[in-house]
Amino acid sequence: MNSDSVSGAREGRGVEAVEHYQGTASLQQYIVKRLVQFIPVCFGVTVLVFCLLRFAPGDAAYIRLQDRGMDVSAESLAQIRRELGLDQPLWVQYVHWIKAVLHLNLGNSVVTNEPVIAELSIHFRMTALLTLPAMALVVAIAFPLGLLSAVYQGRLWDHITRITAIVAMSVPSFCVGLLCILLFAVYLQWLPSFGKGTPTHLVMPCLVLSIAPAAHYTRLIRTALLEELSKEYIRAARARGVGLGNLLWSHAMRNAFIPILTALGMNLALMLGGSAVVEKVFSWPGLGKYLIDAILQRDYPVVQGCVLLYAFLFGGINLATDLLCIFMDPRFRRGNYSG
């Protein structure tokens, strides 16, 4: 990632939040405004997903009959459609669903007949159990590698780190997952290949889920630090005899951290919502695998519930990231923001 990309990241959501807050009367007003803006986004997501599911190829009633082992006939299809409410006009189905959602009722799964909100809670906990350690691993790998790569710019360590990061970002996660299963589960027999049950089941999914983000943030941190280290105030600090460690942690890293934090927040949201491939490869019972299975089975209530949860996750994490960017700004801590 070049300096132009990092400059673009600086002009992203976190920096925009800091700049926007300077023109608002209070932090409370900013939060209320963001929450109000989030309402039409959620509404648009629900309409889009609802319509796409109904227009997608396949018939939920037909799949339901097959799952029950019943003969498929016009009468049985009509009966199942009445049970699922699919015989009503599309807008009526949507209104009924929205009314139920406003009462925190996401309906029952077509396949299991269990409440969707209960199943979402179970699978979300499994995804969080996978994603949070993976995110910690991303930070533990990317920060020291990016920092060392920036300090030793142009040297052997820098070249090795950059090449390794490019390779790690280029290989699809399902390929890495299959290679890990082949090596650690089949040949070495160190780790279980799929499923859950023991802490060892988490090792390979966490590793595979963290490889590409760690490579991306290693490059991002390197470029952000190099951009800060090339500025005038850093050269002035060096001229005053400020040590390298103090220069990096007290000056360069602090100023470069806002775009990095913004990217980390977005990555956490993406990992929570986009770990489906890894979960499917390792048969990890998280939200991603749950959503893929529901799409294949045309389980409308589950798919709608998952997408709605993802929308709230993205919105909540983005808002939390923007607030952290504001709190990290020295002017906010000194109370120097003007209304």
Amino acid identity of 316? G
Amino acid identity of 1? M
The angle that helices 156-170 and 116-151 make with each other, rounded to 10 degrees, is 160
Please give the average per-residue pLDDT across 142-149, as a whole number: 87
Higher-pLDDT residue of 176, 238: 176
Q: Which tokens in the block code for residue 182? A: 């082949």
Higher-pLDDT residue of 70, 310: 310
Say what percent of the chain tops pLDDT 70: 76
- Tell me the pLDDT of the chain averaged across its residues: 77
* Whole-prediction pTM: 0.72
Round to whole Å and give the CA distance between 330 and 289.
42
What does DSSP assign to residue 249?
I
Round to whole Å and give the CA distance between 57 and 97.
21
Tell me what pLDDT residue 149 has. 87
Residue 31: pLDDT band by 50, 70, 90 thresholds? confident
What domains appear along the chain, each with residue ranges and CATH number?
3-334 (1.10.3720.10)
Phi, psi for residue 22 in degrees, rounded to 5 = -65, -25
Please give the average per-residue pLDDT across 274-302, as a whole number: 82
Asked if pLDDT for residue 55 goes beyond 80, the answer is no
Q: Which tokens in the block code for residue 18? A: 């800091």
Tell me what pLDDT residue 273 has. 67
156 exposure class (CB count in 10 Å sphere: 0-12, 13-18, 19+): exposed
The CB-side HSE value for 172 (13 A sphere, CA atoms) comes to 6
Tell me what pLDDT residue 322 has. 78
Round to whole Å and give the CA distance between 64 and 131.
32
Residue 315: pLDDT band by 50, 70, 90 thresholds? confident
pLDDT per residue as tens digits for the range 223-263:
888 877 777 777 777 767 666 666 666 667 777 777 777 78
Round to whole Å and give the CA distance between 184 and 193.
8
Round to whole Å and give the CA distance between 165 and 179.
18
Higher-pLDDT residue of 22, 100: 100
Contact (Cβ atoms closer than 8 angstroms) between residue 286 and residue 126: yes
